[in-house]
Amino acid sequence: MNRIEILGVPVDVVKVEDLEKEFLLVLEKKGTKQIVFLTIWDLIKASRKKSELRDCLNSASIILPISKTILFGAKVLKKEVPVRYNPFTTTISLLSTLENYSKSLFLFGGRKKALLTAEKNVHTTFSGLQIVGRYIGYYPKSVEDDIVMGLYKSSPSLALVADGIKEKNLWAYHRRNKFKDSVFLYYRDIIGIFSERIRRPSEKTFEKGHEFRMELVRNPLKLFLLFPFLWYIIKLLYVRLFKITDGTGDIVTVPSVAAENAEKSPKTTQGDDDQPSAPVDFDVSD
């Protein structure tokens, strides 16, 4: 796995055949870990100055691009082009790995009926996967301590976070010191897909990069995302043409310092010298 930067935002280059190995390595690490499905909108947000999302991504264990335009950005900047991952098929692959290695899962998000249906369908498909807990999204602030404690006690191998969690990827990042050794993965639509309430994009639609059209149908206001997208294209071209960036993605005027460094540098000569706990049941009432 190799980590590159696009406008100062980290993106991982992970071959499909290496994903399971990298996932297992993450599972073995101590502490709270994150796997991130990176969209172009997340990348644009994280590329801004003083972005907390950028800090979150810098601490993430694996960052998988899911937008075609992220690959375009890597090509424009002449970076190593990462593999684009389909979030649904990748999630299924990760769950299969968990089942094969007798790991555990926590489902977090969605409404009551959707969550219970999703849990049932996951259990049917991955019968060897232990589901150690679940809790609904859209929860009142007053129960958050109970949720955090439940995640801490159950210590799932993977916590799958879905809709109804306002902070999205930042939820686990903000509470990273309150858990044991779990991996967190935010995928907004996964509970809806597992409960058959949301239709996932077809493989053909995803390969063409047309999944955003489905987003527009669900929320026409997303048409205004055209403006930050144009900013992204302009900034890519600016960096490509002038080749000036400070390493964080912020464009600055940088003089050529190679000769200056060569003059200042002194000449050197040779000779310098965990078992999963019992299921944690929660009240999944709205």
What pLDDT is stored for residue 200 in this prediction? Answer: 87
What is the rounded average pLDDT of the residues 219-234?
77
Choose between 203 and 4: higher pLDDT: 4
- SS3 (DSSP) at 62: strand
**Cα 270 to the chain's mean position, in Å?**
47
What residue has token string 């053909």? 204
Average pLDDT for residues 174-184, to the nearest whole number? 96
Please check whether residue 49 is in contact with residue 78, taking contact to mean a CB–CB distance below 8 angstroms: no
Report pLDDT for 17. Answer: 97
In 3D space, the residue among 68, 107, 85, 108 whose CA is nearest the CA of residue 22 turns out to be: 85
Phi, psi at residue 108, to the nearest 5°? -140, 110
Q: Using CA atoms, how far apart are residues 41 and 210, in angstroms rounded to an integer?
A: 15
What's the whole-number mean pLDDT along residues 145-160? 97
Cβ atoms within 10 Å, residue 218: 8
Q: Is the pLDDT of residue 251 over 70?
A: no
Q: Give the burial class of 271: count Cβ atoms within 10 A of its Cβ; 0-12 exposed, 13-18 middle, 19 or more buried.
A: exposed
Confidence of residue 256 (pLDDT cuts 50, 70, 90): very low
Pick from 186, 147, 239: which is nearest to 56 by CA?
186
Phi and psi dihedrals of 160, rounded to 5? -95, 115
The mean pLDDT of 198-216, rounded to a whole number, is: 75
- Provide the b/e sequence for 6-28 (b: ≥16 CB within 10 Å): bbbbbbbbbeeeebeebbeebbe
